[in-house]
Structure 1
């Protein structure tokens, strides 16, 4: 009898879990009828396999296939305008560091199937909400840690050498120029959310020039993160969306009320001095002024803005995603969110 009771409890829990998952999925629109298949063009492979060929022929072949991206790659990412294409290619192919790095990239990314699947799902949702959105050409490359995600004329580049995994030997060697708090996020699972974030910022929602106050910038960044909530695959965690470690996310959640009180007590919300407010929005190992022994999460202004926007949408269920993203009145969003986090 005891076994049956336990079995029944497990069965009920299982049914509840299924109902919860189904309900969560039902909140998303059906995008199965949107015909889209994202492919990432492996420029990194095309460039490397041509290493043994005549550089003049390689230059013509790559210029024809990759156009503007190739020109940007040669003259902006790895070279400069004063050198011709052949000179840049010759120098690159003779560089052992380039060979070593490309081989490492190829070992981590023999294919990009998982990333293409994630981007296909993401951009189906983007096309659902914004049918007129133009999807760029996605091109992967290696630049020696110079660029992670450049945006150019009809292309979005993905610097695979910036996603090798947080324990990569290469990141330990460049720690002076790329600190560990940044390179810990250079992992494959960050590719899809960073592409979506970059596309949102650069193509869909450029920040209004009138965003001067901390509050307006918090809400703007919060809207971008809420947009990611709606378009990214559901298995992507909040910590990955904002770039937090598990511990940093837990810290922000635990001290949410204290963070908000700190902003209010110091009259930071309507501050316009960039030097004073950028510490709450910028990347870093922690947020200065908050926490003890530098244990706070970074960019807590961005994180708080995200929570305000989520609360606003919870309080106003008739507001659509498009209406939210078009609303530039940060004070209105704050007021109608009724945001008052409680001590935990």
Structure 2
């Protein structure tokens, strides 16, 4: 494809339109309790930290260990001199500006809670045996706590059967000063931090649920198989969030996604002409299956992770031919079968 292929595309906002066959899930009961751990944690009495922590642990008995050891990466805090206590006090001091920004940006989380709850209703509809988390816990963690690039998820985590955790420190808006600082850019380049906005929270949460439903196993698989495996997840996300803009689900800009659709045939032809589909060399796969500012081979205007888009289209083509296939069965269908039976040949 010519480098200018994407640049010539006019900007266009792509919104996902609700499918007329979207099921009514309003009657499905979801027990989801939202909790502001971030506010409770920063309200701790740092002069009497151990007693305050003991009180906090009564309110968050299933989250505290995961937060301190998993998210914060702290050592045991039984020793107040050399253990976690000094580090915790320092974190509270250093992250007070982040806490203040969170308070301004997230004075209310009701709309986010409602969207996540709606997503879990669709999860229950399509995957009735799934034990959905019952708590939605908002927290503030270290800026470098998460880097789940394979999922396109930064800052948010799930503990199966228990809670979904939302790291608000990575959802303060793309122009938040820490993201645009030299330190912030070293952790998260602009093509990543532009997604650090509140509207990505429900999408990220549903992505973590999908990964819990069907843990990804793509090691050693060919390029086309990896594309399809990623495409399966996006297709399921379509069903769980039928009114969410496609740009949020795939993480592309409007310009990038519109460019992909306009150049869909050229993108596919590039893979065919260069005999890439059956290749499983790690370095080559990285060019098409890893996040980045663009896909170098396709031009500056293209998005990174171009295999995500192509796999999504293959799965949509396959499901158009198999409309009665249930989502659990789709996830279990071998990627190569989906590719071959889809007869994917975009113009």
Q: Please state which band the TM-score falls in when normalised by the shorter chain.
A: 0.7 to 0.9
Give the superposition deviation at 1:65.
2.6
2:95 maps to 98
TM-score normalised to structure 1 length: 0.85
**CA 1:242–1:209: 2 relative to 1, 3 Å:** closer
2:13 maps to none
Give the superposition deviation at 1:238.
0.7
**Residues 44-95 of structure 1, C-alpha deviations (whole Å, 9 max, x = no match):** 0110122456211111122233234212222332243265475534443455
The answer to whether the aligner puts 1:298 opposite 2:304 as a matched pair is: yes
**Residues 155-198 of structure 1, C-alpha deviations (whole Å, 9 max, x = no match):** 33210010111111121121111111100000000000111011
CA RMSD, aligned part only? 2.0
1:332 maps to 337
**Residues 205-256 of structure 1, C-alpha deviations (whole Å, 9 max, x = no match):** 112356611111110100000001001151x111110101111112211211
- Give yes or no for contact 1:59–1:85 (8 Å, CA) kept in 2: no
2:258 maps to 250
Q: Matched residue pairs, number?
A: 315
1:213 maps to 222
The answer to whether the aligner puts 1:88 opposite 2:84 as a matched pair is: yes
Give me the whole-angstrom Cα distance separating, in 2, the residues matched to 1:193 and 1:205.
Answer: 17
Structure 2 regions of 5+ residues with no counterpart?
1-16, 147-154
Structure 1 regions of 5+ residues with no counterpart?
1-20
**CA 1:139–1:218: 2 relative to 1, 3 Å:** same
Stretch of structure 1 that moved more, 91-100 or 189-198: 91-100
1:319 maps to 325
**Residues 1-35 of structure 1, C-alpha deviations (whole Å, 9 max, x = no match):** xxxxxxxxxxxxxxxxxxxx7xx554111212211
Matches within 5 A, 1:106-185: 106-136=103-133, 137-145=135-143, 146-147=145-146, 148-152=155-159, 154-173=162-181, 174-185=184-195
**CA 1:275–1:318: 2 relative to 1, 3 Å:** same
1:66 maps to 60
**Of 223, 240, 248, which residue of structure 1 is paired with 2:232?**
223
Bigger relative contact order (CA 8 A; separation at least 6): 2
The answer to whether the aligner puts 1:36 opposite 2:27 as a matched pair is: no
Indicate the SS of the match to 2:185.
coil
Indicate the SS of the match to 2:166.
strand
Indicate the SS of the match to 1:41.
strand
Stretch of structure 1 that moved more, 42-51 or 217-226: 42-51
- Comparing both structures, which one devotes a greater share of its residues to helix? 1
Indicate the SS of the match to 1:206.
coil
Give me the whole-angstrom Cα distance separating, in 1, the residues matched to 2:242 and 2:313.
Answer: 20
- Give yes or no for contact 2:265–2:346 (8 Å, CA) kept in 1: yes
Stretch of structure 1 that moved more, 71-80 or 118-127: 71-80
Give me the whole-angstrom Cα distance separating, in 2, the residues matched to 1:320 and 1:82.
Answer: 46
The answer to whether the aligner puts 1:307 opposite 2:303 as a matched pair is: no
